[in-house]
Amino acid sequence: MVSTVTGTTDTTATAAAMKKSLGMNKDDFMKLFIAQLQYQDPMKPQDPSAMLDQLSQLSLVEQSYNSNTALKDLLTAQNNSISLTALSFIGKDVKANGNVATFDGTAPCGLVFDLSLPSASTQLSIVDASGRTVKTADLGASKAGENSIYWDGRDSSGALLPAGAYTFSVKAASATGSTVPVTTFTTGRIDGVNLASGTPQLNIGASSVALADVISVKGV
């Protein structure tokens, strides 16, 4: 008995939602179809094949609506699952595509970059939120693969900079002077998650990275 009531309720809800979305549900369609039969010319009755076509169109519209509704429900469930996954990152150290350096005002922050080939010279630049270059440094020769250094939060003159999100870039050259491709990464410990935009953003202090940009996660 309970299942029968539930099925009726679901059908009624689907019909109401379908009418709201399309302006017509199957009940409205059937009313028009019956009216068409009632008022057809007796001397020129409706072609049976045309009637079957109309009924099949109703079935296709309803199936299409139900499929779209199911896909929306599936997408909602998937988004909820992604959000829960993002929350599980809190307290973990991540490495992600990007070039953000988050300085907390006291502790040095790690800067990670990858060289496709060994370099004879490597130049680091750090830029603040206003676009001003606050630090440049000559890192000398660097090995191929992943390299990491720590920035103490001071500018080129040695003055301590305020806490915040900075960006960094690295330029490298071989012994012959040719450019060595460089890939930079954003690293740090996740201390929060922002779900407001619909796409989870993992917070690292004053900066954030998209969940899709995360390359590796390390538990603490």
Q: What is the pLDDT of residues 70-129, one digit of tens each?
A: 666 555 545 555 566 778 888 899 999 999 999 999 999 999 999 999 999 999 999 999
Separation CA 122–CA 114 (nearest Å)? 12
Mean of the per-residue pLDDT values of the chain: 79
Q: What is the set of domains in the chain, with CATH numbers?
A: 2-87 (no CATH), 93-218 (2.60.40.4070)
- All residues at 6 or more sequence positions from 169 whose CB lies less than 8 Å from its CB, including other chains: 99, 124, 125, 127, 184
Separation CA 200–CA 147 (nearest Å)? 28
Q: Is the separation of the CB atoms in 190 and 90 below 8 Å? A: yes
pTM of the model: 0.62
**At CA 77, angle to CA 74 and CA 78, rounded to 5?**
85
Q: Choose among 190, 197, 205, 220: nearest CA to 85.
A: 190
pLDDT in tens, 33-70: 676 666 665 555 555 566 556 656 666 666 666 666 66
Torsion, Cα 46 47 51 57, to 10 degrees, reads: -120
Of the two residues 25 and 53, the one the predictor is more confident about is 53
Separation CA 162–CA 177 (nearest Å)? 36
Dihedral sign, Cα of residue 85, residue 89, residue 94, residue 100: positive
